Amino acid sequence: MDEIIDRGRRYVLRGGVAMAAVGLTGGRAAADWAPSLRYPDPAIAILEPAFAPYRIFNSSVERLATGFDWMEGPVWFGDGRYLLVSDIPNDRMIRWDEVTGTASEFRRPSGWSNGNIRDLEGRLVTCEGGMRRVTRTEHDGSVTVLADTYEGKRLNSPNDLAVDGEGAIWFTDPPFQISNFYEGEKAEPEIDFHGVYRISPEGTLELVLDDLKGPNGIVFSPDRQVIYIVEGRAAPDRLVWAYDVGADGTLANKRRHVVATEHGALDGMACDVDGNLWCGWGSTGAPEADPEVLDGVRIFDPSGRAIGHIHLPERCANLCFGGRHGNRLFMAASHSLYAVYVNTQGANLP
């Protein structure tokens, strides 16, 4: 598919409220929330003393933009001072500009894009979950398909990505976006497992794992010697697994790193320079779950212990670090984009 970038239909979102005639299609403007005027922000909860140094006393959670349907896959472009994020049901990518504080359509259609990342050369790599493929946007704007089949069968719906130190692209492939017509095109899976794959720097697609139910978020430790993968359909509790990564890309020493108890649900993750995992968090949808308590970002130290929580009025699907110093946490929630400055920096930023 040739690249399509639509900047003609532009809308402005200031102070978290969508302005008149913004041109949203199917969007919901979540205008009933306001940032706290108190310092420290009560939305940033310290669960263990170890989290206290990461909270900046006078930094508040901000809502940068709203009026979307399901935000996912934020990725920071520091060289352009903008953030790209997927609005999956509306089949588009949104660009939020740090200089002007405005949001606009970057690409539509986007293949019902989900996760996004930059490779070691700074190029955009995207999980086009609805198109069932992984693509790379070249520096000249053209689009290259990196993977769309495995052993002659179409992938399920690529979800999230990570890049290792050699430049290989790792991605998860659950069937989430082919299960309905809301986030893609409904279809029967051609592959009878939910895979985790690695695209080598030479372009070879390799199956890494086939034993997880609904693999979702994926991220490397700061030294890229450990990889963390969310098992999004694990029962009774959803999990983050940790694996040691070999020089040849093989995985070993599988171990449970995080168990999402009390009906918590994990999605995307980001890792900071100290090895803490910042996890998109919400509820499983169970009737007894309390979304108001769960929705937001849950932070885990390198041992897998929960140390902090950032409460949001919406479920957070995915997040990334960005900003000039890599210390601004961008959070893609259900209908909105949020941010907060924290006292750490993202690991392995481009």
How does pLDDT run across 67-88, given as a tens digit for each residue?
999 999 999 999 999 999 999 9
Please give the pLDDT value at position 32. 75
Closest C-alpha to 110, from 68, 152, 62, 162:
68
Q: How far lies 172's CA from each of 131, 225, 256, in Å?
A: 15, 18, 18
Please give the pLDDT value at position 350. 82
Q: How far lies 90's CA from each of 49, 86, 130, in Å?
A: 41, 9, 11
What is the per-residue pLDDT across 226-284, written as a single tens digit (0 to 9) for each?
Answer: 999 999 999 999 999 999 999 999 999 999 999 999 999 999 999 999 999 999 999 99
pTM of the model: 0.92
Closest C-alpha to 63, from 39, 100, 32, 99:
32
User: How many whole angstroms separate alpha carbon 177 and alpha carbon 47?
Assistant: 34
Percent above pLDDT 90 for the chain: 89
Average pLDDT score over the chain: 92
| Average pLDDT rounded to a whole number, residues 193-221 | 98
- 284, two tokens: 């499983």
pLDDT of 18 above 50: no
Please give the pLDDT value at position 305. 98
